[in-house]
């Protein structure tokens, strides 16, 4: 999911997507520890996905606080 696609999500959808992504990241970490990952780049991409979601969530929070 690109940053543009993430920005189109509502606040609730963004929170839901963040929760799903964090859960998937945890699953990938367990699979990596058990040497069961078929593509090690999945872990890197999921970490970046979570970071994107959190960044956009923080941006929205800052904008809401600035606007009152």
CATH number of the domain residue 32 falls in: 1.10.287.310
Residue 13: other Cβ atoms inside 10 A = 11
Q: Which domain holds residue 24?
A: 3-67
Query: pTM of the full predicted structure?
Result: 0.90
Give the pLDDT confidence of 1-55 residue by residue, as tens digits.
899 999 999 999 999 999 999 999 999 999 999 999 889 899 999 999 999 999 9
What is the pLDDT, as a whole number, of residue 51? 97
Residue 21: other Cβ atoms inside 10 A = 19
| Alpha carbon distance 25, 22 (integer Å) | 5
Chain centroid to CA 60: 15
* Overall number of domains in the chain: 1
User: Residue 68 pLDDT more than 80?
Assistant: no
């Amino acid at each position: 999911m690109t940053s543009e696609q993430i920005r189109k999500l509502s606040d609730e959808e963004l929170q839901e997507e963040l929760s799903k992504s964090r859960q998937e990241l945890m699953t990938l970490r367990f699979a990596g520890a058990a040497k069961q990952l078929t593509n090690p780049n999945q872990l890197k991409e999921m970490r970046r996905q979570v970071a994107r979601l959190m960044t956009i969530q923080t941006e929205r929070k800052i904008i809401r606080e600035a606007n009152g």
